[in-house]
Amino acid sequence: MTINALNRSLPDWFSRVKTHQTTLPRFQRHEAWSHSNVVQMFNTILQNLPLGSFLVLEIGDNKPFVARPIVGAPTSGERTTEFLLDGQQRLTGLWRGLLNDYDDKTYFVTLKEDEETGLPYYVEAVGRWTKGKETAQRPFWANEPKGQWERSMIPLDLFAPGDEADKRYKEWSRKAVSSAEDREPITDIRTDIKLQLATYNLPYLSLPVATNREVALDVFIKMNTTAAALTTYDIVVAQVEAQTGESLHDMVAECKHECPEISDYYDVENLVLYASSLLQGKAPTNNTYLSKEFGQALLENWKGLISGVRQTVGFLENEKIYDAKRLPTDIVVPVLVALWADAPTALDAQGWARAVMQKYVWRAFVTARYEKSTNSRAFADFTGLQNLIHDRHADGPPIFNNDLFPLPKTEDLVSAGWPKNKDRLARAILAAAIRTGAIDFADGATASRSNLEKREYHHLFPTAFLDRSGITEEKAYKSLNCALVTWQTNRTMSDKEPKKYLKERLDDTGLEEDQLRSRLDSHLIPYEEMIEGNFLAFLEKRADHVLMAMRDLCGDAESA
């Protein structure tokens, strides 16, 4: 195979994108560069420094892959004659930057000395936004030529290749600078910069038309040299396209459309790989994902996987787990998806499956099973769970072994940290409280997906109150000292001692004491210890309540 090294100017690349002659194979990842990457690239060009080579695959009459355009480029035009295999991020940034095609940024050439390079100009991106029902973007000065020029800034799209940009520049300059004499030096600088862009070389390597799909894919993977390196998912996308002709990007989009809530728990792209490997009876590793047979098997299991995703979300909602922020360990999500994808449909059998999965999820939350070696342990547990679901007499998964993975003790719960942090046991304590109901102290609403984001992490014994009692802030930030309540309730409680704000709840809301006690019970909060105000005794008692709930959720060590 011969690879040709060739030169091509920036305007030629621009023209080929505009006329649809250069497109992307559909398997290419989506736009990944940040605005800082794009700004840095344009300033590299202004310094006349190289950006590196691109890689293209020449196309004859038959396209080896399904095509898609660069983001923002025309979807039709002349016949596509080449696929861009490497350089997508750079070419996308060039195209969109020179058209000012971003919603949240406008690119400018600023005619001031660049402190880093010493050049008399540089490219920068200005953030754009709207407020309320406004239609005009802020900052408002960035919308008007006069406001732009007052800051010595010219929109980058006025430097784009072609006569159209020249016409727009003339109109812009007349509005920005009233005097023709004053416009001349600005126009001279603009002409110099546009000439620099027009003569800038972007070399490329070209694979000939005769290159087969497999070789092109292999070269694409090995020669990816952009600032955003290929991930395993990017490579699998390419392999699935090459092996099956299907777009994994489209399949993942379908998954998100069918069950948008799954994104609240787990990155869908990685979930698809992980759960699919389990369904194939293989460990979720890069070796599995990159194997030749993985893509075809993923396609064969796709319908079941979508069903598994949908049922997993329903299952987690039944357990009152609504998002990743409060998920003690996310490893359970792909395991559940794979289990539900293969779960029996008969009512009694499905009830058994649900009981097994409930025990699994809560043991994953409260034990140290997934503190290390999560992938291998998840695979072993999945295998054992799958066997147990389909045969009630089968051996259970390792996670059900109470000798190896015991439930926490009271002292473990007392020492667990603040649940807003990524602390498994701390989040498990909060999850158990939410599972019990977590009725708000004031408005009486049970915790749900719709109201959880409106709730705040409240110190049951406020830090200021504990500080006055000689208890350090570190000890105050414990999961057992936390409850999720509405922000209004949180503000009402402020730094008052529990006895006082609980009395206010009775006086201000007309609640009976039994009703208030019931609301606290729904958080696994011991009422008497709250009233007494003994913080350490409160922690011990609440730990007992939480542990009892955890034991109930986890079930017996021998059976589900």
The pTM (predicted TM-score) of the whole model is 0.76
8 Å CB contact between 11 and 165: no
Distance between CA atoms of residues 284 and 290, nearest Å: 11
8 Å CB contact between 157 and 109: no
**Count of CB atoms within 10 A of residue 178's CB?**
9
DSSP H stretches of helix in 100-247: 145-150, 163-176, 180-198, 213-222, 232-244
Q: Residue 145: is the preceding peptide bond cis (ω within 30°)?
A: no
Distance between CA atoms of residues 466 and 11, nearest Å: 68
Q: So what's the pLDDT on residue 490?
A: 64
Distance between CA atoms of residues 161 and 44, nearest Å: 18
Q: So what's the pLDDT on residue 213?
A: 83
Distances (CA, A) of 152 to 46, 53, 156, 185: 17, 33, 12, 12
DSSP code, position 228: S
Encode the chain (560 residues) as per-residue pLDDT tens digits.
678 899 999 999 999 999 999 999 988 888 889 999 999 999 999 999 999 999 999 999 988 888 999 999 999 999 999 999 999 999 999 999 999 999 999 999 999 999 888 899 999 999 999 998 899 999 999 999 999 999 999 999 999 999 999 999 999 999 999 999 999 999 999 999 999 999 999 999 999 999 988 888 878 877 765 555 678 898 899 888 888 889 999 999 999 999 999 999 999 999 999 999 999 999 999 999 988 899 999 999 999 999 999 999 999 999 999 999 999 999 999 999 999 999 999 989 999 999 999 999 999 999 999 988 789 999 999 999 999 999 999 999 999 999 999 999 999 999 999 999 989 999 999 999 999 999 988 788 898 988 888 888 989 998 888 888 888 888 899 999 999 887 666 666 667 788 887 887 777 667 788 888 999 999 999 999 988 889 999 999 999 999 999 999 998 544 34
Residues linked to residue 153 through DSSP beta bridges, in sequence order: 110
Structure token pair of residue 15? 């023209």
Query: If we measure between CA atoms, which residue out of 204, 199, 157 comes closest to residue 9?
Result: 199
**How do strand 204-207 and strand 153-155 relate by DSSP bridges?**
unpaired
Distance between CA atoms of residues 248 and 26, nearest Å: 9
